Structure 1
Amino acid sequence: MLANHKGEIPFVVLILPFLLGISLGLCFSSAGYLMWVFVSTLLLSIVFIILNFNYAKFSLYKVRWIGGSLIAIILFLTGWLSVIRYNELNRPDHFSKTPAQYLVVKINNEPAVKNGLVRFTAVAEQQIINNKRINTSGTLLIAIKDTTANKLYYGDELLIPAKYNTIDPPFNPAEFNYKRYLANQNIYHQAFLYPKQYVVINHNAGNTVIAYSLRLRQHLIEKFKLHMRDTSAIAVASTLILGYKADLSNELLQAYSKTGTIHILSVSGGHVAVIFMLLNLVFGFLGRYRHGKVIKAMLIITLIWYYSLLTGFSPAVCRAAVMISLIIIGKTYSRYINMLNILALSAFLLLLYDPYFIADVGFQLSYLAVAGLLIFQPLVYKLATFKNKWADKLWGACSVSIAAQAITFPLSALYFHQFPVYFLVSNLFILIPAEFIICIGMAYLLLPEIPVVSAILGWVLEKSILIMNKVLVIIEHAPFASVGKIWLTATEYLLACTLIICLFYFLFDRKKWLIKVSLIIILLLGVSISAKRINALRSNSITFLNMRKHLGLIFKHGDQAIILSDINSADKNYQYSVQPYLDSCKITDTTIRNLKQNIRSAYFIKTNNLIQFQNKKVLLFNKDLQGKQLPKKLNVDYLYVTGNPHTSLNEINKNYAYTSLVIDGSNSNTLVDSLEHQAKNQHIIYRVIKRNNSFIVSSN
């Protein structure tokens, strides 16, 4: 039993309305709600206090639900209020509220160099308006294309032009929502800078402790490179031990993701637990002294939080640090500890500090996994018993993996759209090596440079990581290693969560109605998934993608698709903007062609620039067609202007009759504006796919 009474887990009960309030706040975070939410919270709090002072007078013991309801509503409103107040856009001095010539910004994270760009986030401290400095606030994302920017560091203050843009939303279906991802970090604007567009006006102006921590981490990463040669091994060691992920390759990330071991690369509770055990062993002697237990607790808590700082204060590490800190305090003063209550309390504290943590995938998966271990792992473990000690330990490890994977599966499928089939095997093979690597890596970093010893430790660390990576690659390429293209709707996600809870609850309390409910949920899930599949197989459509400066058209016929584009499937733009949509539509057979190629199939004919797909005709109007005169007008459904041809609608209309005009992002702003203006004047239906959403038309 996790609790004999709800009084043992008060924070589990209290955090539920608080979480609901934060979730609502993420949807309605405008400053317009601030006043009435604040007033409502204040009034209800006053009513609650008055009722508590007059508990006997009003005989409230007869209606005890009133107090509980008031607390729930107050916590709900408090959660909502915390999001509104935390949203930087609601601050009157936010830099976006007033036009300025320049901004003074301070780098507030570690700059990362990738693809020739230096990226970092910065806090706007001042605006310069007509040579006057005005204090301001707000965070923006900055990218600089300049090799000298590699020397920028945390705490540097820059003078930059006040030219910034809002973050673009996803323009294509199923595309990653980068705008929402940054908004959940309170970032709503970005700036792109080139050489001589910024000036460093101050160094080391940030928090001294954070600056020291980041420099120490860089020093430790350089120490890895002294006795390790393989770049992939150095990247894994830096990620696994120090939480530095910038050097990880996409191939490595894919191997860990497809085998269900990506959690190993996130510094989290398991890493903090290893640190705690090592520290507990080192400071064990303090327990023999009078105040030794208190001193030991203070030292361990301080060092654990310093390690959390060193790894970047990720939500998973913060959760583990808060939990272990509370457990240490409880054990030091001989207090009863309910782990589920401690888990809820740690979430409550972290969300009070930053309510946007709730939208972080790492935060969600971390808390779900730990909750699954606390609640469901004992139920799974009891399903089988072994007399052999080693068999029992093996089953215990399996039960941990099963419980964590089961409870996190719906969320993982919702975000990552795949399920690792061999997760049990890969986790069993990885957990022990990972702990060994963490211990060896810690020893290597903590010991001073000793020529022979350091070289041996570095060699062992490197070979251990390479062997672990090779095992994962073997598992990744095994037959049926993962089930992909899992795209759940919000309803299917909730049904999957309910099904898992019902099945595990049945293991605890063998009620027949739980099986009945589970079967009904399975039926509903089956109907929903089958309906989506049938609809996908029956539907035919044309999708005009927003590929920025590239051509992108998808002609979908059931589970087949012909893609017209000037990029191939290995291009990062294709992987980002095209592949997610294909996967979400369950398309299994794709053919990629460029504009020059002619195609003929049962449902698709392309001859030069003219396309016949089902009952729709599409003309690709580019520079090849500009200035040409046809003997008679050609009738098409969609005229697609691409490649920035020198033309006008008057010239186009001489040769073509069309229902809709489509203008893609490869055209210049001048041409787009001209065609748009002409289309409005001539009352032509048009669509501009430049900084606008793509669109889909049915062709059944």
Structure 2
Amino acid sequence: MKVFAYPLIPFTISLSLGIVFNYYLNLNFLVLLLFLLFFLITLGIFWIKEKRSWKPTINFGIITYILAFNIGTIIQHLNYNPNSDYHYSKRINSSNSQSVKGTILSNLKSTAKNTKHLVAITEVNSEKVNGKILIYVRKNNQKGLVPGDEIAFISEFQNIPNTFNPYQFDYATYLKNQNIFHQVFLNNNDFIVLHHHENWNSFWYSVQNKLIDSYAIHHFDSKTNAILNSLLFGQRKLLDQETLAKYSNAGIIHILAISGLHVGIIYLLLLTLFKPFHRIKNGKLIALILILIFLWSFAIITGLSASVTRSVTMFTVIAIGNYLNRNSNIYNTIAFSALLLLLFNPNFIFDVGFQMSYAAVLAIVSLNPIFHYFHFSNSKIIKFFIDLSLVSIAAQIGVLPLSLFYFNQFPVLFLIANIVVIPLTILILWIGITTLILNVLLPKLSILFGEILEFLISILNNYAEWISKFELFIIRNISFNEILCLLSYFIIISFIFWTHKRTFKNFKTFLLGIIFLQVGFLFTKQESTFKNELIVYNSQKPIISLKYNNSVSFYTNDIEFNSNTINHYKRGSFGDDFNISSLENIYLFKNNKILIIDSIYYPIIEKPTHLIITNNPKINFDRVLEETHPKQVIVDNSNPYYKVEKWKATCEKRKIPFHATAEKGFYKLK
């Protein structure tokens, strides 16, 4: 019974809204179940009524999508690990050390001083629990940890710190969306490896390493290895910051993260390889099974990341549809793949890669009908590059609002970059997979393919570096927020509707969207004008800012060190008037007197409301408090940890509010 033209689309949207709704409210599970029972009974009544009359009504559709919304809230609740009675967070006291057992799930990208691992907790203080944490192990430790290792240790659980400075990447929320809430730091002898479990994680880790090691016979340099591991295995751990910056500035960073582009190339390659099977009995079915095995094996080897899983799921649906000869609507196919993924892991909806992938695919599919207007030649080569350009433009249109919101920059030369990079990536993937197979079967022949592969990757790196040098064509620090992002998508959707059905009404909607965006931008700037605030930043080189209306003054003695912090605030505050001065000792903000102590000598002012301590001054803290009697003490990250802890204890005795930016992030006074 089709109440709407494409029933899966509003159903998937409704389920997504339910996930987001309960993500922020986290309603009681019993309440959610009662709602589910109510809507199931209501849906049954409508079903019986409509089945008798054979006249589908809009009410049936509405109840169906409300039910989908309710299902979204339930799967989000079930997926949120702390809702489980056996989650480790129910058994720990964050201020005390815990006796812990856990199993390594995966090795993540290391930091400068530590190796980083994702661990599944199995026991806390001899009680059976579940949940995931991050552990950081000092690099000078000789015990190399691999997936499958069961470890035991005694340590405190530390909360993942929130955003340390305004408008910066919120790492805590990013990890929360992966059900990770705590971290542990371990030294040389803080843990022991009990034994190694041969499980799924250890299996694919071992297989992946063997495949990666098979390229050792080619003696590739570090940059070639890093790009190859990223393109074929989804391993970005070897990519250095310089390479990432070059690819980002060139507008081609997406090729370094395995996505629909890579999976699509592999799918087309598999279709070509298994096409001869169609000539034998049940050959199409055999080809389908082999294609699905290869696709999901690839997904497992790359770690089942959100982008790979989404892409493989989508092409699985397409492959099965082709086998059944059912040319289902492409929008329903996309919606069905998204529905499957969200049912499996509702937190995918908060994944940036997931959002951008679907935005790009939907834009390409929606704008595809107008592509034929741009075919000016019958030449297949010219058509190929025209289509490639149009697909790149459509994808960029689809992801533009998200790119501006998450990354706040726009590479103007993205089209020139992608025209070369995408065909080059296709060649690298084809030759890379061929080389991988030959590494095992015919090592001597694989050497020739390896030389070609290394040459192509060097071209890719050099081209990315050349494009990234055009700094004037990279627009950075673009102010953009959630409201502007949503309004931008309203414009894109109304434009697509107008291209499909060119009526004056649809054109008016498109123009109205542009007006809404302008009004939204003006409203955002106006709202920012009325925000007056003083901020003490979390930095090893002291910096504070004072914002009055649309004017912001930064005070620091090291502008270069704090340049990123300043740029983040400039972008996020939507301000126009900025100035930077040297740090002083006394500031007035509204009715507050701010005293900054950064040395043994400091000015005495009558009853300062706020005391800020920076640069590790050698002071008698008790005497300072006796002389100043502050209502609030703020200590920034330029002070050593042991002193901060002493000052904190002193303030607790005197019942004076204490804020350490290294622990709690920036301090804001409104």
TM-score by length of structure 1 reads: 0.86
Kindly indicate whether the alpha-carbon contact (under 8 Å) linking 1:644 and 1:668 is maintained by their aligned counterparts in 2: no
Please state how far the C-alpha of 1:674 moved relative to its aligned partner. Answer: 1.1
Kindly indicate whether the alpha-carbon contact (under 8 Å) linking 2:101 and 2:152 is maintained by their aligned counterparts in 1: yes
Please state how far the C-alpha of 1:392 moved relative to its aligned partner. Answer: 3.3
Per the alignment, do residues 613 and 480 of structure 1 end up closer, same or farther by CA in structure 2, a change over 3 Å counting? Answer: farther
Kindly indicate whether the alpha-carbon contact (under 8 Å) linking 2:487 and 2:513 is maintained by their aligned counterparts in 1: yes
Residue 620 of structure 1 corresponds to 596
Per the alignment, do residues 333 and 613 of structure 1 end up closer, same or farther by CA in structure 2, a change over 3 Å counting? Answer: closer
Please state how far the C-alpha of 1:373 moved relative to its aligned partner. Answer: 1.1
User: Of residues 39, 58, 73 in structure 1, which corresponds to 2:34?
Assistant: 39
User: Which residues in structure 2 correspond to 1:59-458 (within 5 Å)?
Assistant: 59=53, 61=54, 64-99=57-92, 101-128=98-125, 133-148=126-141, 151-161=144-154, 163-207=156-200, 210-379=201-370, 381-389=371-379, 390-448=381-439, 453-458=445-450
Per the alignment, do residues 330 and 161 of structure 1 end up closer, same or farther by CA in structure 2, a change over 3 Å counting? Answer: same
Per the alignment, do residues 638 and 50 of structure 1 end up closer, same or farther by CA in structure 2, a change over 3 Å counting? Answer: closer
Kindly indicate whether the alpha-carbon contact (under 8 Å) linking 1:663 and 1:672 is maintained by their aligned counterparts in 2: no
Deviates more, 1:401-410 or 1:47-56: 47-56
Per the alignment, do residues 567 and 211 of structure 1 end up closer, same or farther by CA in structure 2, a change over 3 Å counting? Answer: farther
Residue 621 of structure 2 corresponds to 648
Per the alignment, do residues 16 and 529 of structure 1 end up closer, same or farther by CA in structure 2, a change over 3 Å counting? Answer: closer
Per the alignment, do residues 359 and 152 of structure 1 end up closer, same or farther by CA in structure 2, a change over 3 Å counting? Answer: same
Q: Deviations over 1:317-370 (max 9, x none)?
A: 222212222222222232233222111111111111111111111111111111
CA distance in 2, matches of 1:606, 1:126: 50
SS in 1 for 2:663: coil
Kindly indicate whether the alpha-carbon contact (under 8 Å) linking 2:215 and 2:439 is maintained by their aligned counterparts in 1: no
CA distance in 2, matches of 1:540, 1:552: 17
User: Of residues 651, 663, 666 in structure 2, which corresponds to 1:675?
Assistant: 651
Kindly indicate whether the alpha-carbon contact (under 8 Å) linking 2:295 and 2:312 is maintained by their aligned counterparts in 1: yes
Deviates more, 1:615-624 or 1:79-88: 615-624
CA distance in 1, matches of 2:553, 2:224: 39
Q: Deviations over 1:414-469 (max 9, x none)?
A: 11111111111111121111111111111111103656533332222222212212
Per the alignment, do residues 555 and 463 of structure 1 end up closer, same or farther by CA in structure 2, a change over 3 Å counting? Answer: farther
Q: Deviations over 1:537-575 (max 9, x none)?
A: 99886421133x653323568677544266953x8xx74
Matched, 1:584 2:542: no
Equivalent residue letter for 2:487: L
Please state how far the C-alpha of 1:395 moved relative to its aligned partner. Answer: 2.2
Equivalent residue letter for 2:417: S
SS in 1 for 2:431: helix
SS in 2 for 1:646: coil
Per the alignment, do residues 248 and 345 of structure 1 end up closer, same or farther by CA in structure 2, a change over 3 Å counting? Answer: same
Matched, 1:16 2:13: yes
Residue 500 of structure 1 corresponds to 492
Please state how far the C-alpha of 1:470 moved relative to its aligned partner. Answer: 1.7
CA distance in 2, matches of 1:213, 1:35: 39
CA distance in 1, matches of 2:341, 2:219: 37
Please state how far the C-alpha of 1:267 moved relative to its aligned partner. Answer: 1.0
Please state how far the C-alpha of 1:81 moved relative to its aligned partner. Answer: 0.2
Per the alignment, do residues 661 and 202 of structure 1 end up closer, same or farther by CA in structure 2, a change over 3 Å counting? Answer: closer
CA distance in 2, matches of 1:150, 1:382: 60
Equivalent residue letter for 2:572: S
Matched, 1:509 2:498: no
User: Of residues 445, 455, 474 in structure 1, which corresponds to 2:466?
Assistant: 474
SS in 2 for 1:189: strand
SS in 2 for 1:312: coil
Per the alignment, do residues 652 and 114 of structure 1 end up closer, same or farther by CA in structure 2, a change over 3 Å counting? Answer: closer
CA distance in 1, matches of 2:636, 2:109: 32
Q: CA RMSD in A?
A: 3.2
TM-score by length of structure 2 reads: 0.89
CA distance in 1, matches of 2:605, 2:10: 71
CA distance in 1, matches of 2:320, 2:56: 37
CA distance in 1, matches of 2:254, 2:661: 38
Equivalent residue letter for 2:601: L
Residue 485 of structure 1 corresponds to 477
SS in 2 for 1:313: coil
Kindly indicate whether the alpha-carbon contact (under 8 Å) linking 1:649 and 1:679 is maintained by their aligned counterparts in 2: no
CA distance in 1, matches of 2:573, 2:4: 48
Per the alignment, do residues 636 and 50 of structure 1 end up closer, same or farther by CA in structure 2, a change over 3 Å counting? Answer: closer
Equivalent residue letter for 1:186: N
Equivalent residue letter for 1:34: F
Residue 599 of structure 1 corresponds to none
Matched, 1:29 2:26: yes
Q: Deviations over 1:101-139 (max 9, x none)?
A: 4121011123443312111111111233xxxx4321111
Please state how far the C-alpha of 1:249 moved relative to its aligned partner. Answer: 1.2
Equivalent residue letter for 1:35: L
User: Of residues 635, 644, 654 in structure 2, which corresponds to 1:663?
Assistant: 635
CA distance in 2, matches of 1:312, 1:431: 23
Kindly indicate whether the alpha-carbon contact (under 8 Å) linking 2:321 and 2:328 is maintained by their aligned counterparts in 1: yes
Q: Deviations over 1:621-649 (max 9, x none)?
A: 134227xxx7x757867542222543235
Per the alignment, do residues 82 and 407 of structure 1 end up closer, same or farther by CA in structure 2, a change over 3 Å counting? Answer: same
Please state how far the C-alpha of 1:164 moved relative to its aligned partner. Answer: 0.6
User: Which residues in structure 2 correspond to 1:541-620 (within 5 Å)?
Assistant: 542-547=534-539, 551-554=542-545, 561-564=553-556, 568-569=560-561, 575=564, 579-585=567-573, 604=581, 609=585, 618-620=594-596
Kindly indicate whether the alpha-carbon contact (under 8 Å) linking 2:608 and 2:630 is maintained by their aligned counterparts in 1: yes
Kindly indicate whether the alpha-carbon contact (under 8 Å) linking 1:417 and 1:484 is maintained by their aligned counterparts in 2: yes
Kindly indicate whether the alpha-carbon contact (under 8 Å) linking 1:228 and 1:234 is maintained by their aligned counterparts in 2: no
Per the alignment, do residues 266 and 512 of structure 1 end up closer, same or farther by CA in structure 2, a change over 3 Å counting? Answer: same
Equivalent residue letter for 1:675: C
CA distance in 2, matches of 1:56, 1:633: 82
Kindly indicate whether the alpha-carbon contact (under 8 Å) linking 1:315 and 1:363 is maintained by their aligned counterparts in 2: yes
Per the alignment, do residues 522 and 645 of structure 1 end up closer, same or farther by CA in structure 2, a change over 3 Å counting? Answer: farther
CA distance in 2, matches of 1:122, 1:204: 13
Kindly indicate whether the alpha-carbon contact (under 8 Å) linking 1:110 and 1:214 is maintained by their aligned counterparts in 2: no
Equivalent residue letter for 1:115: A
Kindly indicate whether the alpha-carbon contact (under 8 Å) linking 1:492 and 1:528 is maintained by their aligned counterparts in 2: yes
Kindly indicate whether the alpha-carbon contact (under 8 Å) linking 1:166 and 1:188 is maintained by their aligned counterparts in 2: yes
Per the alignment, do residues 391 and 152 of structure 1 end up closer, same or farther by CA in structure 2, a change over 3 Å counting? Answer: same
Per the alignment, do residues 72 and 218 of structure 1 end up closer, same or farther by CA in structure 2, a change over 3 Å counting? Answer: same
Please state how far the C-alpha of 1:398 moved relative to its aligned partner. Answer: 1.5
SS in 2 for 1:406: helix
SS in 1 for 2:327: coil
Kindly indicate whether the alpha-carbon contact (under 8 Å) linking 1:503 and 1:515 is maintained by their aligned counterparts in 2: yes
Kindly indicate whether the alpha-carbon contact (under 8 Å) linking 2:8 and 2:335 is maintained by their aligned counterparts in 1: yes
CA distance in 2, matches of 1:587, 1:7: 45
Question: What is the percentage of aligned positions where both structures have the same residue?
Answer: 26
